[in-house]
Structure 1
Amino acid sequence: MTIQLPFLALSKIALKLGPLEIHWYAILIVTGAALAVWLACKEAPRRKMTVDDVIDFILIAFPVGIVGARTYYVAFEWSYYSQHPSQIIAMWDGGGAIYGSLIAGAIVLFIFCHYRMINPLDLLDITIPGVALAQAFGRWGNFVNQEAYGKAVSNLDWLPHFIQQQMFIDGAYRLPTFLFESTGDFLCFLLIILLRHRLTFLKRGEIFAFYLIWYGTLRFFVEGMRTDSLMLGPARVSQWFSALLVLTGILFIIIRRVKKYN
């Protein structure tokens, strides 16, 4: 006899202090960012950078990245937000695009490196493992918010019950695409951390290029399974952008090798 447990979705709100509501999504993003900063600070001396360089960069890039993620999402969903302008800033209810964050962060990085006279490839190599880890954490915010999921499936018996119940949405189990991407992001982080000081043949920027290839490939396939993709006509925007990341990473490595840069 099978006992069907009730499906009680997790609350988006982790803590209430009077009128102040602290959402799980925000906690997970901040936790991921804090770990990313710590990792970058530990690595900075190897690239002849100071902890202050890392902290100053993150203090600028983190808020700009959040704005970039929301701006990207709102831009591609403008038909809705133009009719609901009060919802534009309501990121705590979900609705952000990691590619918007990456674009905004890249702009900040190159401007910051120019003024600090830092090689941007060094800063990219230092920060990118933390970015992958922060993304792995952030996808669990999507889990709590019941967003970024895939098609309806007959069951999710291969998953723990708490994931099954959270993925029971609109009367059906949903493919947990958040979990696929979070797992892939964490594997990317582990590989970089384990190998970056063991592979002596790596050149500047190639850790970053590896991330572009890995994450672009991962996101391309995960995006194809999602039901909430941002669209540009008949195309999934993130799949096009993912393909561009993979191509950029491959070309970067080829050029660095052919030109014999350090």
Structure 2
Amino acid sequence: MEKAIQPLDPVAVSLGPIDVHWYGVIIGAGIILALMIAMRESTRRGLDKDLFADLMLWAIPIAIISARIYYVIFEWDYYAQNTGEIMAIWHGGIAIHGALIGSVLTAYFFTKKRNISFWKLADIAAPSIILGQAIGRWGNFMNQEAHGGEVTRTFLENLHLPEFIINQMYIEGVYYHPTFLYESVWDLLGFLVLILLRRVNLGRGEMFLTYVIWYSAGRFFIEGLRTDSLMIGDLRMAQLISAALIAFGIIAMIYRRVKGYANIRYLDKNS
């Protein structure tokens, strides 16, 4: 008789009545690593070494709140009947596009307050953002969420995945596409591309816009495999936003070059 497959425990540690979930631990680890990389690069680019730490004091809580609000809005039929779950982010249910909206707006007003270039800050942060996203997707893995449609075990084995990933994709008697993994790998590749592009010395703003285009392109196709998409009518909201962001990234990059806003280069001294 085949041994029953047990999912990984989503709780990392229990402290009395408090359960610390892997979801939060993994996202927290991604934020810390991303912050360390951004702080190191900001110092190298002549900015205050504490700049990103100060920004994160505002950006992290606002990003979490906006990510949850975004998700709840598009799942309101459920949360209207389960209002006690609205605050339960440890059960999953935060939308990365909501987090990005909140964090970008926070960064914009923060840079205005500090009298520094938003685009310079965004360029420095771009590799960190996508690395944090790559790590954060493993929180979805622990919660057995953000997966794709049904597949066979043979399909997963042919991807040469470790046994623990294959087993975690076995949910209520069915194997599913590990779309969390597809996006994590895509984001990790994007991180490496952006790190390499620092040597290319792109124009100001182009590092961040490259991130926007790269992430959105991958998300558009991966979203088509998912079974838990936030919908607007018959359309997947994440795909609509991804398509819009790709267009925005391309148009903004061309516009900034034509207007000369990208004449200042990433590696220019005191830029």
**TM-score normalized with structure 1 length:** 0.96
> Structure 1: which 5+ runs fail to align?
none
Q: Which residue of 2 aligns with 1:187?
A: 189
Do structure 1's residue 175 and structure 2's residue 177 form an aligned pair? yes
Cα distance in 1 for residues equivalent to 2:3 and 2:191? 35
Q: Which residue of 1 aligns with 2:258?
A: 258
Q: Which residue of 2 aligns with 1:206?
A: 206
- The alpha-carbon deviation at position 4 of structure 1 amounts to 4.8
Partner amino acid for 1:164? I
Q: Which residue of 2 aligns with 1:121?
A: 119
- The alpha-carbon deviation at position 160 of structure 1 amounts to 1.2
| Number of equivalent positions | 258
Alignment of structure 1 residues 1-262 onto 2, 5 Å: 4-155=2-153, 156-157=156-157, 158=159, 159-196=161-198, 198-200=199-201, 202-261=202-261, 262=263
Partner amino acid for 2:225? M
8 Å CA contact 1:47–1:122 kept in 2: the answer is no
8 Å CA contact 1:216–1:245 kept in 2: the answer is yes
| Runs of 4+ with >6 A deviation | none
> Structure 2: which 5+ runs fail to align?
264-271
The SS at the match of 1:194 is helix
Name the Cα RMSD after superposition.
Answer: 1.2
- The alpha-carbon deviation at position 96 of structure 1 amounts to 0.7
Cα distance in 2 for residues equivalent to 1:56 and 1:105? 13
The SS at the match of 1:14 is strand
After superposing the two structures, state which structure 1 stretch, 70-79 or 44-53, moved more: 44-53
Cα distance in 2 for residues equivalent to 1:33 and 1:205? 22
**TM-score normalized with structure 2 length:** 0.93
Identity %: 48
Partner amino acid for 2:200? L
8 Å CA contact 2:197–2:207 kept in 1: the answer is no
- The alpha-carbon deviation at position 22 of structure 1 amounts to 0.7
Cα distance in 2 for residues equivalent to 1:63 and 1:171? 37
